[in-house]
């Protein structure tokens, strides 16, 4: 769950979301704020020293004062470098802590979402939110309060110093502040729209890369490389246009702020200069005042920058909120029921109905699978066999009806325990980048090499079942292995998981019959006495079965092994 509150205004939401992580690093925050106050105070000293240098040292003809002031400048310089280095390192640590904390929350939430979410959402869209948008929110959540605090502090100190030098000139300069604010408010919609366009184009480009890299072999085989390059160029064009609009918006808003700050300096030049010429002010005071006016522009521009950062963070927060609004379709119950041990693996479907949107896939389907039986599940392509398996592993819950494992409703069991007991090996098993050992340990982190080698050997991977075989890299997308080898590694994983129910989802389809039969024979040897459900289009490849079940028109028809059609619980 992403801890984003619905009931707060957007900038406060960004701060509230990051707050728990900032609080964990309270000491570092205090240190950074103290150091930045120190640096701001130190930055305000040179104009004062300059004024003394001009009025007391140079005009007053005091060589000792000149020397003292040079020493003070040197100390300020060195201290400034040290303070900046320390505070930047502390800031980096704090930012990383908050950024990683926020991103981990989004990733944790993503791990709870159903396959339907991943089927309809482009990978690059998710990536760009996990990466760019989370970073934008983190930047705002840390930079905005610190920047504003620092700006207010610098502005107050500068104001006090300026007032002590010349109240009239101070009033002139600060009379421009309402104009600064008005200009920012006017630029807001422009900033927001252009930021949104950049985030969208960046997501589209990430999606393009994710999808085309995954399909590279297909692109090469279909001679589509030139078309893909043209596609990339089109993305670049759109991205650049969005970037240019966003830059123009930032430059426009920032430029107006700078012009207004410059006008303040011009006013001091004109009014202060005339007063100095008339002998009403000393030259040193005018020089120092000009320097403070320039410095006061810094905090004002920081405030403007925070405002622009807010516009960007608002867009990003909205995009993250779209992910947060996706609800998991299944959750583990707060008080799960415990399966009786050992788990026997009896499965019962009781009038199960399920569909995707309006498309009904299962319509009151019922079935009893006795613990330890081997069932073959057949049916036309697209009839809903894989969907039924997704329901058994509880990626979704039935819209109506119940599914029971050893007499207990699946939604009352702990989700992790259910998925330990019901394991699926499909026709294109996922292998993670890394070695064979890494892949086996993915499901059994505590298994030692002896157990891994035994599983490989039982799965029929005799050529891998030696110490060196475990180190064999499987390649970033498992392309270093044949399909038969990948299936057997997936089977070895299932052996290590030791489930009560094993499901083979068209695992051997497309393999030569002898290879398919060898894999099924290995399954039957290792999982004899466990519940097995084998989805297939080719009954000849699955060996002996206790029952053949056909999924048709949303219902399940049970056939005896001798092919007589006999309904078990309900025939649709």
Ligand X SMILES: Nc1ncnc2c1ncn2[C@@H]1O[C@H](COP(=O)(O)OP(=O)(O)OP(=O)(O)O)[C@@H](O)[C@H]1O
551: tokens are 């999924």
Q: Does 353 bind ligand X (CB under 6 A)?
A: no
Q: Does 299 bind ligand X (CB under 6 A)?
A: no
Q: Does 386 bind ligand X (CB under 6 A)?
A: yes
Strand order across the beta sheet in which 501-505 lies: 422-426, 501-505, 531-535, 374-378, 547-552, 555-559
Candidates 399, 393, 396; CA nearest to 360 is: 399
Q: Are 542 and 483 in contact (CB under 8 A)?
A: no
CA dist 183 and 194 (Å) reads 17
In Å, how far from its chain's centre is CA 488?
33
Q: Does 499 bind ligand X (CB under 6 A)?
A: no
Q: Are 530 and 499 in contact (CB under 8 A)?
A: yes
What is the secondary structure of 238-255 as a DSSP string? HHHHHHHHHHHHHHHHHH
CA dist 227 and 231 (Å) reads 6
Our CA dihedral for 412, 415, 418, 419, rounded to 10 degrees, sits at 160
Pick 406 or 506: Cβ nearer ligand X: 506
Pick 115 or 189: Cβ nearer ligand X: 115
Give the footprint of ligand X on residues 116-155 (CB under 6 A). Answer: 116, 119
- Tell the smallest beta-carbon distance from residue 378 to ligand X (Å): 9
**What Cα–Cα distance (Å) separates residue 82 from each residue in 89, 111, 154, 337?**
11, 43, 20, 60
Q: Does 383 bind ligand X (CB under 6 A)?
A: yes
Q: Does 554 bind ligand X (CB under 6 A)?
A: no
Q: Does 379 bind ligand X (CB under 6 A)?
A: yes
DSSP 541: G
Pick 315 or 349: Cβ nearer ligand X: 349
Pick 394 or 441: Cβ nearer ligand X: 394
Pick 305 or 379: Cβ nearer ligand X: 379
- Tell the smallest beta-carbon distance from residue 427 to ligand X (Å): 9
- Tell the smallest beta-carbon distance from residue 522 to ligand X (Å): 23
**Can you tell me which of 129, 385, 437, 493 binds ligand X, judged by CB under 6 A?**
385
- Tell the smallest beta-carbon distance from residue 113 to ligand X (Å): 12
**For the chain, what is the total number of helices (H) and then of strands (E)?**
18, 10
**Can you tell me which of 356, 449, 462, 571 binds ligand X, judged by CB under 6 A?**
356
Q: Does 329 bind ligand X (CB under 6 A)?
A: no
Pick 258 or 395: Cβ nearer ligand X: 395
Binding part of the chain for ligand X, among 15-23, 239-247, 318-326, 374-382 by CB under 6 A, reads 374-382
Phi, psi of 444 (to 5 degrees): -135, 75
Pick 119 or 221: Cβ nearer ligand X: 119
Q: What share of the chain is helix, strand, coil (3-state, %, to 5)?
A: 65, 10, 25
Q: Does 384 bind ligand X (CB under 6 A)?
A: yes
96: tokens are 């990383």
What number of other Cβ atoms are within 10 A of residue 359's Cβ?
7
User: Is the preceding omega at residue 385 within 30 degrees of 0, hence cis?
Assistant: no
- Tell the smallest beta-carbon distance from residue 382 to ligand X (Å): 4
Q: Does 382 bind ligand X (CB under 6 A)?
A: yes
Q: Does 361 bind ligand X (CB under 6 A)?
A: yes
**Can you tell me which of 387, 421, 508, 541 binds ligand X, judged by CB under 6 A?**
387
Give the footprint of ligand X on residues 88-117 (CB under 6 A). Answer: 115-116
Pick 192 or 505: Cβ nearer ligand X: 505
Pick 195 or 386: Cβ nearer ligand X: 386
Q: Does 358 bind ligand X (CB under 6 A)?
A: no
Burial class (CB in 10 A: 0-12, 13-18, 19+), 451: middle
Give me the residues that bind ligand X (CB under 6 A), please: 115-116, 119, 356, 361, 379, 381-387
């Amino acid at each position: 769950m992403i801890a984003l509150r619905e009931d707060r205004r957007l900038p406060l939401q960004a701060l509230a979301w990051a707050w728990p992580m900032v609080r964990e690093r309270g000491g570092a925050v205090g240190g950074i704020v103290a150091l930045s106050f120190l640096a701001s105070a130190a930055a305000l000293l040179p104009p004062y020293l300059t004024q003394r240098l001009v009025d007391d040292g140079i005009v007053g003809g005091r060589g000792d004062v000149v020397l003292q002031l040079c020493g003070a400048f040197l100390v300020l310089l060195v201290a400034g470098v040290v303070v900046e280095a320390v505070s930047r390192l502390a800031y980096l640590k704090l930012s990383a802590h908050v950024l990683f904390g926020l991103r981990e929350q989004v990733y944790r939430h993503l791990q709870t979402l159903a396959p339907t979410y991943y089927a309809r959402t482009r990978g690059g869209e998710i990536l760009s939110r996990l990466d760019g948008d989370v970073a934008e929110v983190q930047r705002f959540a840390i930079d905005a309060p610190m920047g504003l605090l620092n700006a207010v502090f610098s502005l107050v100190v500068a104001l006090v110093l300026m007032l002590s030098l010349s109240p009239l000139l101070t009033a002139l300069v600060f009379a421009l502040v309402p104009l600064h604010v008005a200009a920012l408010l006017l630029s807001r919609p422009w900033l927001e729209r252009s930021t949104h366009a950049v985030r969208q184009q960046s997501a589209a480009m990430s999606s393009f890369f994710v999808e085309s890299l995954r399909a590279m072999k297909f692109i090469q085989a279909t001679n589509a490389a030139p078309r893909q390059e043209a596609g990339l160029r089109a993305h670049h064009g759109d991205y650049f246009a969005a970037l240019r609009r966003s830059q123009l918006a930032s430059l426009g808003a920032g430029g107006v702020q700078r012009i207004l700050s410059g006008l303040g300096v011009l006013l001091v030049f004109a009014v202060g200069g005339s007063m100095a010429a008339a002998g009403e002010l000393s030259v040193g005071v005018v020089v120092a005042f000009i320097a403070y006016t320039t410095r006061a522009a810094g905090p004002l521009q920081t405030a403007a920058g925070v405002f622009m950062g807010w516009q960007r963070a608002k867009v990003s927060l909205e995009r993250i909120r779209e992910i947060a609004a996706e609800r998991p379709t299944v959750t583990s119950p707060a008080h799960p029921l415990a399966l009786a041990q050992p788990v026997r693996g009896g499965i019962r479907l009781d009038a199960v109905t399920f569909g995707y949107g309006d498309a009904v896939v299962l319509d009151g389907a019922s079935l009893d699978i006795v613990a330890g039986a081997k069932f073959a599940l057949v049916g036309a392509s697209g009839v809903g066999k894989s969907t039924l398996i997704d329901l058994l592993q509880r990626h979704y819950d039935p819209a109506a009806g119940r599914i029971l494992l050893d007499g207990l409703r699946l939604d009352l069991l702990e989700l992790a325990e259910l998925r330990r007991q019901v394991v699926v090996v499909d026709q294109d098993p996922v292998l993670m980048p890394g070695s064979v050992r890494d892949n086996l340990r993915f499901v059994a982190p505590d298994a030692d090499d002896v157990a891994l080698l035994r599983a490989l050997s039982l799965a029929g991977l005799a050529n891998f079942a030696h110490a060196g075989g475990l180190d064999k890299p499987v390649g970033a997308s498992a392309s270093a292995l044949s399909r038969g080898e990948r299936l057997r590694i997936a089977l070895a994983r299932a052996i290590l998981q030791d489930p009560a129910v094993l499901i083979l989802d068209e695992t051997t389809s497309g393999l030569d019959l002898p290879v398919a039969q060898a894999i099924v024979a290995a399954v039957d040897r290792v999982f004899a006495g466990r519940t097995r459900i084998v989805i297939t289009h080719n009954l000849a490849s699955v060996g002996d079965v206790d029952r053949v079940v056909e999924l048709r028109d949303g219902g399940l028809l049970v056939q005896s092994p001798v092919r007589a059609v006999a309904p078990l619980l309900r025939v649709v």
